[in-house]
């Protein structure tokens, strides 16, 4: 059975309505992912969260009436890497299904817009900007339109981006594993993990203790040249010598790449 590709939009949502809804009054979409702060995360005011929920509920209701499937994800939109992680995660899942993915970079604040643009470059998404005709001046206008009032039809600008070159697939796998482990890993532990992931050249490395000593040198050399040297040179990992072994740890830059990969759930 041939699967028809779907049109999917990712919309990080701030205190906007028109900028999130108006495009769909003129263009079709199958599904929209709404990202918003709907929890205090222990640091934001309840009043702000209630305001955000109002905009979220209005946008969801209007999109649903237009026949669009709406999925909501609660994220900390004021944490740049968290925004990148969630947008990338959704993008990877949708693109793996063969869908076309757009991302709205005008429906939230500047920090989230930057995160959305970065994710768009990493995953070849289609970012777009919805222009405002003017800004709301009264509470009634804000409740109806959000912070921005858009023309009908709205002015929509598709943005050109350049590809963001991420490390190769095997390097990404190692970074994601290091992120999840937190404490760091030895080279042999990484080799075992790559064997479990069925990475070429490491098939016999798990369990490592059963690998004959005369067969250990080649996979360790491959691991060092193909993956670890590249990641260390880029500043994504560090190596700490402890006794006879190196402990490989992920850096803050490596965490950022793991998040951008879309593979961190």
Biggest distance spanned by C-alpha atoms of the chain? 76
Token duo for residue 66: 């237009």
For the chain, how far is it from start to end, CA to CA, in angstroms? Answer: 30
Kindly report whether the global pTM for this prediction surpasses the value 0.75.
yes
Record: fold of 169-261: Arc Repressor Mutant, subunit A (1.10.10)
Domain boundaries, the chain: 7-158, 169-261
pLDDT at 87: 98
Q: Look at residue 4 in the predicted model and tell me its pLDDT.
A: 86
CATH topology for the 7-158 domain = Rossmann fold (3.40.50)
Spell out the per-residue pLDDT of the chain, length 265, in tens: 667 899 999 999 999 999 999 999 999 999 999 999 999 999 999 999 999 999 999 999 999 999 999 999 999 999 999 999 999 999 999 999 999 999 999 999 999 999 999 999 999 999 999 999 999 999 999 999 999 999 999 999 999 988 888 999 999 999 999 999 988 999 999 999 999 999 999 998 898 988 898 888 999 999 999 999 999 999 999 999 877 778 999 999 999 999 999 999 8
From 162, 175, 193, 184, select the one nearest 234 (Cα to Cα). 175
Contacts of 179 (CB under 8 A, 6+ apart): 250, 254, 255, 258, 264
pLDDT score for 42: 93
Q: What is the pLDDT of residue 1?
A: 66
Q: Confirm whether 7-158 and 169-261 share one CATH topology.
A: no
The pLDDT assigned to 2 comes to 66
In angstroms, rounded to a whole number, what is the distance separating the alpha carbons of residues 41 and 256? Answer: 21
Q: What's the CA gap between 26 and 67, in Å, rounded?
A: 13
């Amino acid at each position: 059975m041939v699967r028809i590709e779907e049109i999917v939009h990712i919309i990080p949502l701030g205190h906007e309505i028109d900028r999130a809804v108006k495009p769909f009054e003129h263009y079709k979409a199958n599904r929209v992912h709404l990202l918003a702060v709907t929890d205090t995360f222990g640091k934001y005011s309840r009043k702000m969260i209630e305001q955000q929920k109002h905009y979220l509920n209005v946008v969801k209701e209007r999109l649903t009436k237009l026949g669009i499937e709406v999925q909501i994800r609660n994220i900390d939109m004021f944490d740049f890497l968290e925004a990148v992680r969630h947008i990338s995660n959704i993008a990877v899942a949708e693109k793996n299904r063969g869908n076309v993915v757009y991302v709205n970079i005008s429906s939230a604040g500047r920090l989230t817009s930057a995160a959305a643009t970065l994710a768009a470059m990493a995953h070849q998404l289609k970012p777009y900007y919805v222009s405002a005709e003017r800004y709301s001046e009264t509470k009634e206008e804000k409740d109806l339109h959000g912070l921005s009032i858009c023309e009908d039809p709205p002015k929509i600008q598709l943005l050109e981006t350049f590809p963001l070159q991420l490390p190769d697939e095997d390097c990404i796998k190692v970074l994601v594993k290091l992120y999840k482990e937190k404490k760091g890993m030895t080279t042999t532990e990484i080799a075992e993990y790559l064997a479990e992931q069925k990475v070429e050249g490491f098939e016999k490395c798990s369990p490592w203790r059963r690998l004959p000593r005369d067969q250990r040198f080649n996979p360790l050399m491959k691991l060092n040249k193909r993956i670890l040297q590249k990641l260390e040179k880029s500043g994504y990992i560090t190596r700490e010598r402890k006794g006879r072994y190196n402990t490989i740890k992920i850096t803050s830059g490596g965490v950022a790449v793991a998040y951008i990969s879309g593979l961190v759930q």
